[in-house]
Amino acid sequence: MKRVHLVLTSLSLLVLSALASAGEEDFVKLFDGGDLSAWHHEGADGIQTENITGYVVEDGILRCGPGGKYLLTPDKYEDFVFRLDYRLPEGGNNGVGIRTTIPGNPAFDGMEIQLLDDTAEKYNALADYQYNGSVYGILPAKRGHLKPLGEWNEMEITAIGSKVKVVLNGTTIVDGDIVEATKNGPLDKREHPGLLNETGHIVLCGHGDPVEFRNIRVKRIK
């Protein structure tokens, strides 16, 4: 049985590597500089399907506003590759929720990939699983691969079964198995009821900071 698991893990890693080197074929644009018709928003008044508040689109760029909470895809995704560009302000904080249950908190009712200005002094004391690119509370990311503030970062998130891979600006910063990573419990010692969700929404997590996005697209694996 152990040998079978190793074979399956090796095959999954090969698939992840192949997908990471793929081009833009079969990707569906979720935001290309136009409107937010491909998104819903969960705010204080519930789910908004149109006339979305909390996020603005200006000059082809999507920006989170002070009231921005969870901007989510109406569809759910199981295995996929998700790509986006993002630009952080000083001290900026946001995240990408994957396989998220809504209503819910992406960090716990799914998985949240952190988008964070790691260089900000106020974040000096964070745990390693809280920094940019980490699967929050579960898989720490390699640090030092963010571009300077004011420049665009390119991120690719691949999720296949329990395997999650995050590539930032061409460097793999997370490549792990959430089942293996939590066999002794999550690193943050908290409950993550949605961690093993097989499917769920993709979410921009808000947090109210003016983080900017562009070129958001996704490709289903199955």
Condensed to tens digits (0 to 9), the pLDDT of residues 148-197 reads: 999 999 999 999 999 999 999 999 999 999 999 999 999 999 999 999 99
Residues 78, 207, 42, 29: is their CA dihedral positive or negative?
Answer: negative
Cα–Cα nearest to 195, from 129, 97, 84, 65 = 97
> Tokens 């095959």 belong to which residue?
11
Structure confidence at residue 46 (pLDDT): 84
Structure confidence at residue 67 (pLDDT): 82
Q: What is the pTM of this model?
A: 0.89
Residues 60, 216, 87, 150: is their CA dihedral positive or negative?
Answer: negative
How many domains are there within the chain?
1
The residue segments making up the domain with residue 17 are 2-220
- Give every CB contact of residue 73 below 8 A, 6+ residues apart in sequence: 30, 38, 39, 40, 201, 202, 203, 218
Residue 161 in tokens: 């079964």
CATH assignment of the domain containing 126: 2.60.120.560
CB distance 71 to 39 below 8 Å: yes
